[in-house]
Structure 1
Amino acid sequence: MNFELKPLGMVGAASEKCDVLVVLVPQNFKASKDDLSTMVAQAIKAGDFEPKAGKLLHLYRHAQCSATRLVLAGVGEGTAREVRTALTAAVSGAKTAALKKLVVAFATPAREEAVRSVVQAVADATYAYTLTKSKPDPRTLTKAVVCASNASELQVTFDRAVAIVAGCEVAKEWANRPANHATPTHLGQAAQELAKVAKFSCEVLGPKEVAKLGMGSFMAVSQGSDEPLRFIVLRYDGAAKSKAPTVLVGKGISFDSGGISIKPAAEMDEMKFDMSGAASVLGVFKTLSVLKPAINVVGLIASCENLISGKAVKPGDVVTSMSGQTIEILNTDAEGRLVLCDALTYAERFKPAAVVDIATLTGACMVALGGVRSGLFTSDDSLGAALAKAGDAAQDLCW
């Protein structure tokens, strides 16, 4: 799907030929003299449409525009959250097999955060997983045009939002794949292919190389599976070598049965998502390849399966981590910390400015925070505040 930002007001947007035109209308909307603005004002005055967030009015082949379908979407005060709510509802309701070109127009000058929300909402509302479906229902939308009268002020924000969406879709794709289509080997190949296209460095280490490094904790988790582990090292160098990198560490347990401390059978299929941290790191590097920012970033992915076999690690076993510390494993379903501790030790060699560990570490976090916010733990308050602020801006909330 291609995104494009055009410097068009209501008149220009009405002239765009497309399958669906969504007009985002705030509560402070004041009509201009053009036909489309006049019609919006009349609909509000008649009580047929309210510009409150999420309120919609659908029109078919309306005389005031070139689109097949016109949707007026209320965005309230025009905050990022309200825009995303409105557009998600509008696109979801208008999504059909015929939807190939979508135009989204701001009825008033757009804010930067609102533009980000538009791009994210369009991508989210039209995303479709198809890889393993016998009768896939793929995304039909091929082009999304965002119209704003002040587009020249928004281009940088728009480009960044498009790049972030590209990364998010990589992360979604890999997280959604079933475990037999997202093995550690598959993840290693995905990283290599991404690096080849984007021209950053990628090193994929197997069992022999990991053993040589002394990653006994990581190896202990993987030993119950016939699938060989992979330790993936990605490097993006956009700044001087003297500048310390940010290191991203992604948990890549491609399937987590819990090991001998086995999980309940109900909903165990969802443990394919235990590599979502790894998928996030791949997504970040996709975004970096598009944006090409002047920073240095290292991505580390420790990937294996946590399964049961005669070779599996047992409760009470003692292993030695890469740092030289011995660890008594009392619960084999605490595999995340065993894998990540070796990855974090490996990260020390880069002398990083910051280390961000991304992991589906425990279901207890969902008990505490529900499905709205991610848990954020940090030993650096300034880093934690920066991450929380970034999460608020991206509407990827944490606490």
Structure 2
Amino acid sequence: MNFELKTLSLSAAVSHKCDLLILLVPEGFKPQGDALSVLVATALKQGDLELKPGKHLALYAPAEMAARRLVLLGCGKGDPHAVRQAVQALGATLKTRAIKRAALVFATDCEAGSVGAAVRTMAEAGYVYTATKSKAEMPALSRVTVGVSDAGAVQPEFAIATALAVGVEYAREWANRPANHATPTLIGEAAKALGKHAGIQCKLHGPAQVAKLGMGAFLAVAQGSDQPLRLIELRYDGAARSQAPVVLVGKGITFDTGGISLKPAAEMDEMKFDMGGAASVLGVFRALAELKPAINVVGLIPACENMPDGKAIKPGDVVTSMSGQTIEILNTDAEGRLVLCDALTYAARFKPAALIDIATLTGACVVALGGLRSGLFASSDELAARLAAAGDAALDPCWRMPLDDDYAEGLKSNFADVANVAGRAGGSITAAKFLQRFVGDIPWAHLDIAGTAWKGGTAKGATGRPVGLLLHYLLGMAGAPTPRRKTAAARRARAD
């Protein structure tokens, strides 16, 4: 879907030719003398239009209008959240085959963030998965004009929103593909394709290189599959080489059976979404290619399958991670933390300003937060605050969870340095405490997106989250001071 931004008054919108004109009308709207204002005023007076977010009135070929269809769309207070709700209500309308060109016009001066919310929501509504369908109709809607009172004032916001829309679509596309169409090798090819964009480089490491690096935990998860693993390394260089990068690590389990600790059959097909963290890293780099911000970013994706083959790891096995720490694998379905721990150790070589891992890690996080907010765990208050603010700005919210050292008690093992699981209680926290062992003093955050990376049921499909949160964080970091590293005293206090 292509977007353009125009300065468009209500009187000019009357003569704007398109298949569908959507007028976003907030509470407190004061009608002027143009035909659109007269229509709104009349509809409000007669009680045919409410201005709550999503309430709307559709008209066909209204007099004096160049648009073939008109929708008067209530958007509440006109804030980004209300605008998002309003546009979401038109999802079915936007997929109408007869609508090829649309205009979304703000009836009043728009609040900061509202244009971005409208663009992102329109793009999400227009996405259709087609990769493995023999007969699939793409939406007819191909061009959207966004009309505002002053295009220059919102141009930066519009540019971010359109780039983000591209990145989210890239993430959704790869997360939605079936596991046989999104193997570790194919995910590597998707990353290589990103390397064709200016400023982005891609390096792929196969099993031999990963073994040479000593990534025993990552290798252990992959050994039950016939599909060769890939350690994918992406770099975006938008700033001076002397500037420390932000490193993003995305869990890339392209299919998760649970291994020997086999998952129940019901809804196991959704385990193709277990590479949602990897997909979000791909999506962020796709958006960076559009915006080219002044920041350095490294993306790491440990990609493999978790399968119950005769070579697969067993409960009770002990493996040695890249860090040298030994791990007792009590549950082979807690594999994400095993591939991530080696990637987090590898990330230290880039001397990052901040290290963020993104993973569909625990069902416990879904129980805690549902599908609204991603779980946020962080060793740095400053980093946590920036990520939370970025999530709010992107309408991609997260919620900070605790990281008390006492939660690590359950990870003690009689046969290794650490077990890969603790008890059921606080499962998302104990998983985060496991990962924390492998980050040292680098400012680190972990985003558990098990509840937000995809939807089930009739709306089954990837969401592209948290590409928005991550992109807004990176844009905020461009030129900003970096989070402080832990003091030596804080490092000594880290749980064993």
Range of TM-score over shorter length: over 0.9
Amino acid at match of 1:363: G
Q: Deviations over 1:198-247 (max 9, x none)?
A: 44110011001111111110000000000000000000010011111000
Show the counterpart of 2:188: 188
Q: Deviations over 1:283-323 (max 9, x none)?
A: 00000000000000000000000001111011111111111
Give distance in 2, aligned partners of 1:324 and 1:83: 51
Show the counterpart of 1:134: 134
**Divergent runs of 4+, >6 A:** none
Show the counterpart of 1:55: 55
Q: How does 1:303-322 map to 2 (within 5 A)?
A: 303-322=303-322
8 Å Cα contact 2:78/2:114 also seen in 1 = yes
Cα deviation, residue 71, structure 1: 0.3
Give distance in 1, aligned partners of 2:378 and 2:153: 35
SS in 2 for 1:31: coil
Q: How many positions carry a matched residue from both structures?
A: 399
Show the counterpart of 1:165: 165
Give distance in 2, aligned partners of 1:297 and 1:151: 30
Show the counterpart of 2:25: 25
Give distance in 1, aligned partners of 2:50 and 2:196: 50
Cα deviation, residue 138, structure 1: 1.7
Show the counterpart of 1:354: 354
SS in 1 for 2:254: strand
Show the counterpart of 1:178: 178
Cα deviation, residue 16, structure 1: 1.5
User: Does 1:46 pair with 2:46?
Assistant: yes
Amino acid at match of 2:112: E
Cα deviation, residue 111, structure 1: 2.0
Show the counterpart of 2:363: 363
SS in 1 for 2:378: coil
8 Å Cα contact 2:238/2:292 also seen in 1 = yes
Give distance in 2, aligned partners of 1:131 and 1:290: 23
Amino acid at match of 1:394: A
Show the counterpart of 2:396: 396
Give distance in 2, aligned partners of 1:229 and 1:139: 36
8 Å Cα contact 1:36/1:64 also seen in 2 = no
Show the counterpart of 2:450: none
Amino acid at match of 2:192: Q
Show the counterpart of 1:34: 34
The answer for unaligned runs of 5 or more in structure 2 is: 400-496
Cα deviation, residue 89, structure 1: 1.0
What is the percentage of aligned positions where both structures have the same residue? 63
SS in 1 for 2:219: helix
Amino acid at match of 1:232: I
Amino acid at match of 2:72: L
Cα deviation, residue 93, structure 1: 2.8
Q: How does 1:50-199 map to 2 (within 5 A)?
A: 50-199=50-199
SS in 1 for 2:236: strand
SS in 1 for 2:197: helix
Q: Deviations over 1:103-162 (max 9, x none)?
A: 000000112311011101101111111111222132222111100012110001100110
Give TM-score, length-normalised by structure 2: 0.79
Give distance in 1, aligned partners of 2:336 and 2:94: 42
8 Å Cα contact 2:373/2:398 also seen in 1 = yes
Q: Deviations over 1:152-179 (max 9, x none)?
A: 1000110011001110000000111110
Cα deviation, residue 51, structure 1: 1.5
Cα deviation, residue 50, structure 1: 1.4
Give distance in 2, aligned partners of 1:362 and 1:343: 18
SS in 2 for 1:197: coil
Amino acid at match of 1:278: A
Give TM-score, length-normalised by structure 1: 0.98
Cα deviation, residue 95, structure 1: 2.4
Q: Deviations over 1:69-90 (max 9, x none)?
A: 1000001110111101111112
8 Å Cα contact 1:106/1:147 also seen in 2 = yes
Cα deviation, residue 91, structure 1: 4.2
Q: How does 1:242-257 map to 2 (within 5 A)?
A: 242-257=242-257
Show the counterpart of 2:200: 200
Show the counterpart of 2:4: 4
Give distance in 2, aligned partners of 1:377 and 1:242: 28
Amino acid at match of 1:7: T
8 Å Cα contact 1:92/1:126 also seen in 2 = no
Amino acid at match of 1:121: T
Instruction: Decide whether aligned partners of structure 1 residues 360 and 114 sit closer, same or farther in structure 2, where only a CA change above 3 A counts.
Output: same
Cα deviation, residue 371, structure 1: 1.1
Cα deviation, residue 364, structure 1: 1.2
Question: Comparing 132-141 with 270-279, which one deviates more in the overlay?
Answer: 132-141
Amino acid at match of 2:341: C
SS in 1 for 2:88: helix
Give distance in 2, aligned partners of 1:68 and 1:227: 53
